[in-house]
Structure 1
Amino acid sequence: MDNEIDVLNSFLNNNNQVDLRRPYRVMDVANYIVNKFTEQGHPITNLLLLKMLYYLQAYFLTNDSEQLFVGQIQKWGYGPVEPIVYSYFKDNGAAPITHSVQYAINDNGTLRIINPAGRNLQENDKLIINSVVDKLYNKYHTNPFELVEITHAEPMWLKDKDRIKNGVHNIEYDNHEIAEYFSDGEKWPWL
């Protein structure tokens, strides 16, 4: 019985805090970004969030040779989309996202709901994330469709342009191609 009480007290005293490690679940990164901009009084749209995630993944693949998050970015008509994130925030349409969301995971055949509160990304990762998303926000928050045009000009999207326009779905970006394209450090959209 003492062990159960200790576990409960530990849970209550830690305020349900969980320190996460890379690669993160994509929804943990998305919720972190949503909370960051909402707390600053500048909620972002799903379109901008999805492009931020794409460029964050590219940045980590290029500079750390490791994914920031687990998930697969796909090539859609409006450029790169992480389908899980899109599905959780699509009801916002073009309106700003004003809060993070709970999400579901399959845990060995059992569906679990993850509450975003208390899920902590590593501090050094948050510094990089903040730097990249702040640059993107500062340059594109008034017209995130500029990022759509930029991603449409990248060779990774262009090579599948006809397939995308013909309605082919589930065309995934290749992480190696992304890292190779951005490796010279001169193709970032915030430069």
Structure 2
Amino acid sequence: MAYSTIAVANTILELAEKKSIEISPMKMQKLIYYAQAWYYFLNDEPLIDEHFSRWHYGPVIPSLYHKLKYYGANNITSKIGDLEFIDNDAVFVEPVIKDNLIGQYLDKILEVYGSFSAQQLSNMTHQQGTAWALKGPDGSVITLEEMKLETE
């Protein structure tokens, strides 16, 4: 089951706060990128329900970029809200993942990648052999299969 990008991001924010890890928008993009790549490699199904695009600073989920661009290069200070429709009413929610196994998985991603800066993570996604580096025009979709090749 693929989760919403916002729910994954909010779960990462909760876990990061407990570990005193600061997360900027660019760092969040890269953490979710690695979470998606490894999850797909291990489970042969996606973690999130959106795709990454090739942008200048590496893989980006465009919708998440637009939700977080307010922060610029500063750290994210609160969970990300979204509108959901419940019984024909629009309700503002801050979704998180309740599945303990996914929480443990994301905690492991933070353990491995959380100490890197946003720029270090961006540099890592630019290395030869990465899905981003396979090139394609700016804005082109990075496929799950390309991401999987990177983890093998």
**What TM-score do the two structures reach when normalised by structure 1?**
0.70
Partner of 1:159: 134
Q: Number of residues paired by the alignment?
A: 149
Q: State the alpha-carbon separation in 1 of the partners of residues 37 and 2 from structure 2.
A: 13
Q: Does 1:129 align with 2:106?
A: yes
Q: Percent identity?
A: 20
Q: Could you say what secondary structure the match of 1:75 adopts?
A: strand
CA offsets, 1:41-94, max 9 Å, x none? 333111111000000000110001111110111110000111121111111111
Distance apart, 1:144 and its partner CA: 2.0
2:131 and 2:149 in contact (8 A); partners too: no
CA offsets, 1:89-132, max 9 Å, x none? 11111111111021135x6xx78444116x43311111111001
Q: Write the letter of the residue equivalent to 1:92.
A: Y
- Residue number among 29, 33, 40 corresponding to 2:12 in the alignment: 33
Q: Could you say what secondary structure the match of 1:69 adopts?
A: coil
Q: State the alpha-carbon separation in 2 of the partners of residues 178 and 61 from structure 1.
A: 8
- CA shift in 2, pair 1:111/1:89, >3 Å: farther
* Structure 2: runs of 5+ lacking an equivalent: none
Q: State the alpha-carbon separation in 1 of the partners of residues 73 and 80 from structure 2.
A: 17
- Residue number among 47, 65, 75 corresponding to 1:68 in the alignment: 47
Q: Which of the pair has more CA radius of gyration?
A: 1
35-44 vs 72-81, greater mean Cα deviation:
35-44
- CA shift in 2, pair 1:86/1:111, >3 Å: farther
Distance apart, 1:40 and its partner CA: 3.8
- CA shift in 2, pair 1:42/1:75, >3 Å: same
When the two chains are superposed, the root-mean-square deviation of aligned CA atoms in Å is 2.1
Partner of 2:69: 90
40-49 vs 171-180, greater mean Cα deviation:
40-49
Instruction: Map 1:94-105; keep pairs closer than 5 Å.
Output: 94-104=73-83
**What TM-score do the two structures reach when normalised by structure 2?**
0.86
* Structure 1: runs of 5+ lacking an equivalent: 1-21, 184-191
- Residue number among 115, 118, 123 corresponding to 1:144 in the alignment: 118
Q: State the alpha-carbon separation in 1 of the partners of residues 19 and 110 from structure 2.
A: 13
Distance apart, 1:177 and its partner CA: 1.7
Q: Write the letter of the residue equivalent to 1:103.
A: D
Q: Could you say what secondary structure the match of 1:177 adopts?
A: helix
45-54 vs 144-153, greater mean Cα deviation:
144-153
